[in-house]
Structure 1
């Protein structure tokens, strides 16, 4: 008891320390309460989208409550909040510049809906699927790098939210979850080009019909929302004459997550159909035509 009385008397004689300790207690209460509510939501909410959103809302409110508590304790009056916030911001802008931009970036991402968890984006040269957005970082499951095509590399990348202000953000799925892809097919000169074109277009039209139907309405909404011209979503074919073959360029629309599989499927079916033409259509490879062979003069030892 004597020890407790001594502590209380000592705190009473040092009001600044007493105020600071009370402030730390309030901060601890806010943090514990925030973590408790987030854990409660994780256990009792089955829908992953609602669970994620609810946790982020609680996290934001926790930060706001900490700011209010801080301003109240160190200014002594909630009415001085605007002045305190101004002084506080001016004092730490230089040293915490990156952090401030990151927090501002997170607010901007949520309000403007630049991207959200589940979107595939490319930002600051890094491409991947967004798996989490917090108040400072965006977490992405990386795509590409040493792995070919649009496959996961296995690395999780944490990127500062400040990058949304520093360069373009490429979103593969926000308004139009389809992309255009293409590949070249080399056909040997002398082949039946009409049959080759029919094979490619028939297979592409049959395999991509679902993507074409799904993209029509989506593209209409994009045209209605942005200043952009209408586009052809059906498969198209262009022919180019080269030194070695006739190049058929197939352009088509595909789901952004199924680009690699779709290209594999189209190549497989087209190759199988060409093999069944019994030589009327033949694929080409690089050829070299020798126009003139130089004359070589060989002298024997007897002639020397």
Structure 2
């Protein structure tokens, strides 16, 4: 009977009852927020690993918030719920920093124009053509790896947009869709070097004139936009004397998507014209000169023993 009276007195305290109702309301609100956030992540996150970790993290943060609310209530400090909300925000920021960075990265990519679909980029050590950008990931068609030059490997790669904040982004096509390329041509000593130079330069000018003309205007735009010196876009040739041959280094500008085919056409045409010189120009190859072969003496002890 005494217990019943104590309970009746306890519930008759309107202030206490109001506090309990508020406490229960906050607990229910936290559970609703946890459920809604987990449902949103399940719908919008496509990577199962990130989805699983994010849902678990939200669940843990929610439980911690409930503990903070309970402690605040029983210590008489539930009025300081703003502190608990601040701790919750900090917990979410730390736990979901990768998710937050990915979303922030998508806005950064869009507004700063770091890259766009169709660009060829290198991000986090992976090179490829951008085929899609969403709120979480950048999707690329990979280039290189087990195939040579700038050929597609066939793999589609998804990278978190957060990587734009974690390292350099190499863009092959932003503002200036051309790159410089080069290759070395070994010419044998005794060849007509001037004729060899004339052949290489003439072939380069004939095959690269379109790239040179298209790149001149665009390079001027790059010089006006950035703090950068003017550059030579016409084909240039440098000569180096080595121990075995005269090395001609051809440097030229080319469309970033046509490096491989352009280098093939240049080498093929230069090779044909060198053959037409009737030996005046000869390609060199690595040679080795054997100065002396040491004499080897073999003692056949078994044969000697039998003859005795």
Q: What does the per-residue CA deviation read over 1:188-218, in whole Å, with 9 as the maximum and x for residues that have no partner? A: 0000000000000000011000000011011
Q: Deviations over 1:35-79 (max 9, x none)?
A: xxxxxxxxxxxxxxxxxxxxxxxxxxxxxxxxxxxxxxxxxxxxx
Superposed counterparts of 1:176-187, under 5 Å: 176-187=176-187
Partner of 2:214: 214
Using the TM superposition, give the Cα deviation of residue 15 of structure 1 relative to its aligned residue in structure 2, in angstroms: 8.9
Report what 1:157 is aligned to.
157
Q: Distance in 2 between matches of 1:289 and 1:250?
A: 29
What aligned pairs does 1:1-304 form with structure 2 within 5 A after superposition?
A: 89-290=89-290, 292-294=291-293, 296=295
Question: Rg larger in 1 or in 2?
Answer: 2
User: 2:13 is matched with which residue?
Assistant: none
Q: Unpaired runs of 5+ in structure 1? A: 1-13, 33-82
| Coordinate RMSD, CA, aligned | 3.4
Residue 260 of structure 1: CA displacement? 0.3
Deviation of residue 95 (structure 1)?
1.1
Question: How far apart, CA to CA, are the structure 1 residues paired with 2:208 and 2:85?
Answer: 56
Offset of 1:87 from its aligned partner?
6.8
Q: CA deviation at 1:265?
A: 0.5
5+ residue gaps, structure 2:
1-23, 44-82
> Are the structure 2 counterparts of residues 274 and 166 from structure 1 closer, same or farther at C-alpha, using a change threshold of 3 Å?
same
Shift of 1:100: 0.4
Q: Determine helix, strand or coil for the equivalent of 2:186.
A: strand
* TM-score of the pair, normalised by structure 2: 0.69
Question: Displacement of 1:297 after TM fit?
Answer: 7.1
TM normalised by structure 1 equals 0.70
CA apart distance, 1:152: 0.4
- 1: CA distance between counterparts of 2:139 and 2:84? 33
C-alpha distance 288-100 of structure 1, shift in aligned 2 (>3 A): same
The C-alpha deviation readout for 1:234-261, integer Å capped at 9, x for no partner, is 0000011111111100000000000000
CA shift for structure 1 position 299: 8.2
1:85/1:161 CA distance change after superposition, 3 Å: farther
Q: 1:212 to 1:289 in 2, by over 3 A?
A: same
| 2: CA distance, partners of 1:146 / 1:297 | 46
Equivalent residue of 1:158, what SS? Answer: strand
